[in-house]
Amino acid sequence: MSGATAKIRERVKTGKLLEVVIVIILLVIVAAIVLMGFDKKTEQAEGDYARELEQRLSAVLSRIEGAGEVAIFITVGSDGEKVLASESIVAQDGTVTTIPVFSGGEPVVLEEKSPEITGVLIVSEGAYDLSVRFNLLEATASVLNINQSIIKVYTMGGNS
């Protein structure tokens, strides 16, 4: 232990440990700011993503023969994923620190994955017909690339 304590004291005297600690603190602050901004944007983007899919899918499915008016509700279970560009900085003592790359004040996003769809509810005027119901189910699964088991199709009531 005395050897480790001596090394720490030596680094404090040379100022290297202080530099490393300051860099780590700054990186934590930057990461926290970036993540707080993404949380707000992610919630809005998640809702926007589902609403846009609902509108587009409803417009297309209503054109299936016999479907009539179609209403759709989509639930998503994840926020999606953003892969940020980052760079690694190697300190003199060999410590490696990874920080996000920024451009114009915003982090550079290399890849953005859509939120995971966990359920789809389709309400259609023509869903009483089994062939229409099957067509709606099959088309939705195909377009969204999801399993048919998370899609439910119901007949629209008179008080749509």
Q: Please indicate, yes or no, if residue 18 is contained in any of the structural domains.
A: yes
C-alpha to C-alpha distance for 99 and 88, rounded to whole angstroms: 6
Q: Please indicate, yes or no, if residue 110 is contained in any of the structural domains.
A: yes
Q: Please indicate, yes or no, if residue 135 is contained in any of the structural domains.
A: yes
- With beta carbons less than 8 A apart as the criterion, state whether 67 and 135 touch: yes
Which amino acid makes up residue 40? K
Q: Please indicate, yes or no, if residue 131 is contained in any of the structural domains.
A: yes
C-alpha to C-alpha distance for 13 and 127, rounded to whole angstroms: 77
144 confidence band (pLDDT: 50, 70, 90)? very high
- With beta carbons less than 8 A apart as the criterion, state whether 50 and 76 touch: yes
C-alpha to C-alpha distance for 15 and 108, rounded to whole angstroms: 33
Q: Please indicate, yes or no, if residue 160 is contained in any of the structural domains.
A: no
Q: Indicate the SS3 state at residue 116.
A: coil
Write the CATH number for 86.
3.30.300.30
What's the domain count of the chain?
Answer: 1
Domain range for 44: 2-155
Q: Please indicate, yes or no, if residue 19 is contained in any of the structural domains.
A: yes
Q: Please indicate, yes or no, if residue 35 is contained in any of the structural domains.
A: yes
Q: Is the pTM value of this prediction over 0.85?
A: no
Residue 6 predicted with pLDDT over 70: no
- Cα of first residue to Cα of last residue in the chain, in angstroms, is 75
pLDDT tens for each residue of 49-98? 888 999 999 999 999 999 999 999 999 887 777 788 888 888 778 788 88
pLDDT mean over 135-147: 94
Angle between helices 2-14 and 16-61 (to 10 degrees): 90
Question: Residue 54 CA to chain centroid, in angstroms?
Answer: 18
Q: Indicate the SS3 state at residue 129.
A: coil
C-alpha to C-alpha distance for 136 and 155, rounded to whole angstroms: 11
Q: Please indicate, yes or no, if residue 107 is contained in any of the structural domains.
A: yes
Q: Indicate the SS3 state at residue 151.
A: strand
For the purposes of burial, counting CB atoms within 10 Å of the CB of 60, is it exposed (0-12), middle (13-18) or buried (19 or more)? middle
- Count CB-CB contacts under 10 A for residue 122: 24
